[in-house]
Amino acid sequence: MSARDEVLARIRGALGDNPADAPPVVRAYREAGEHPPGSAAVVDQLVERLEDYRATVVRTRGADESVGIAIAAALDAVGATSSIAAPGVPDGWTSATPVCIRDVGTITPRELDRVDAVVTGSVVAISETGTIALDGSPRCGRRMITLVPDVHLCVVSVADVVQSVPEGLARLDPTAPLTFVSGPSATSDIELSRVEGVHGPRHLVVVIAG
């Protein structure tokens, strides 16, 4: 018997002829928060939670040019002199940052290691947990580009901010390559005290637009 057939047979044997009827799953938890997506309350909460994780948060108006000015200022503030942008970010986001190159899918990890910062959009943000989701779409970029550079500058549109985890997950396609980011890289492995900055980007700059 193949390992597959044997493991499945073992499981069926362990469950018996009449597998126990598991009670139905009752979902009495909150499906949605009390504040609507994009409301001032959820945006304020997102800012508070991100700053609690020691992310840098910048707020700007929604026009691409405004976002572009905020991005240029933020990159300057962290001292980034080279940057790469996800292929689908609007031109206006990088027009004030002339050194920013576009990812065309050919850069190697080793080359990427010499780039200071990466600029991407995002699909959804969850305010209660301070979480930003990236889905590998052109605006979010391949997973590699948001990982190797030391600064991740991520633009969150106010309309994409929801309050609860269930609301956030409902907006995502699970088969896309997903990355949830909640603050900069961190560890609690030394005496269970949280310190920021291990292997992922040590600086997370969030530009909230709109």
Partner 1 sequence: MSTFLGMPAGRVPGPAADTAVGQLTGNRSFPAAARDALGDTRLRRNLAHATATIRAKRASVVGEVPDWEALRDAGSAIKADTMARLPELLEELERNVTARGGTVHWARDAAEANGIVLDLVRATGADEVVKVKSMATQEIGLNEALEEAGITAHETDLAELIVQLGHDKPSHILVPAIHRGRAEIREIFAREMPDVDLATLTDEPSVLAAAARTHLRELFLRARVAVSGANFGIAETGTLTVVESEGNGRMCLTLPETLITVMGIEKVVPAWRDLEVFLQLLPRSSTGERMNPYTSMWTGVTPGDGPQDFHLVLLDNGRTRALADDLGRTALHCIRCSACLNVCPVYERTGGHAYGSVYPGPIGAVLTPFLTGVTGGHDPNDSLPYASSLCGACYDVCPVKINIPDLLVQLRAEHTEAHAAAHRLPSAEAAAMAAAAWVMSDPARFARAGRAAGTARHGIRRGRPLLPLPPPLNGWTASRDAPSPPAETFRDWWARTRGGRS
Footprint of partner 1 on 138-157 (CB under 8 A): 142-144, 147-148
Stretch that binds partner 1, among 67-75, 94-102, 117-125, 137-145 (CB under 8 A): 137-145
Spatial neighbors of 71 by CB under 8 A, at least 6 apart, are 93, 94, 96, 97, 119, 153, 155, 207
Say how far apart CA 143 and CA 112 lie, in whole Å: 12
CB 202 within 8 A of CB 184: yes
Compare residues 31 and 76 and give the one whose CB is closer to partner 1. 31
The CA-atom distances, in angstroms, between 134 and each of 58, 98, 146, 206 are 19, 25, 9, 13
Say how far apart CA 178 and CA 108 lie, in whole Å: 20
CB of 72 to partner 1, least distance (A): 26
Compare residues 90 and 197 and give the one whose CB is closer to partner 1. 197
Site for partner 1 contains 201 (CB under 8 A): yes
Site for partner 1 contains 114 (CB under 8 A): no
Enclosing H/E stretch for 195: strand 195-196
Compare residues 120 and 185 and give the one whose CB is closer to partner 1. 185
Compare residues 16 and 98 and give the one whose CB is closer to partner 1. 16
Say how far apart CA 149 and CA 146 lie, in whole Å: 7
Stretch that binds partner 1, among 7-15, 58-66, 70-78, 89-97 (CB under 8 A): 7-15
Select from 90, 102, 165, 171 the one that contacts partner 1 (CB under 8 A). Answer: 165
Site for partner 1 contains 98 (CB under 8 A): no
Q: Indicate the pairing of strand 56-60 with strand 203-209.
A: parallel
Q: Indicate the pairing of strand 131-134 with strand 124-126.
A: antiparallel
Site for partner 1 contains 4 (CB under 8 A): yes
DSSP reduced 3-state for 205: strand
Compare residues 22 and 98 and give the one whose CB is closer to partner 1. 22
Select from 131, 155, 203, 208 the one that contacts partner 1 (CB under 8 A). Answer: 131
Site for partner 1 contains 40 (CB under 8 A): no
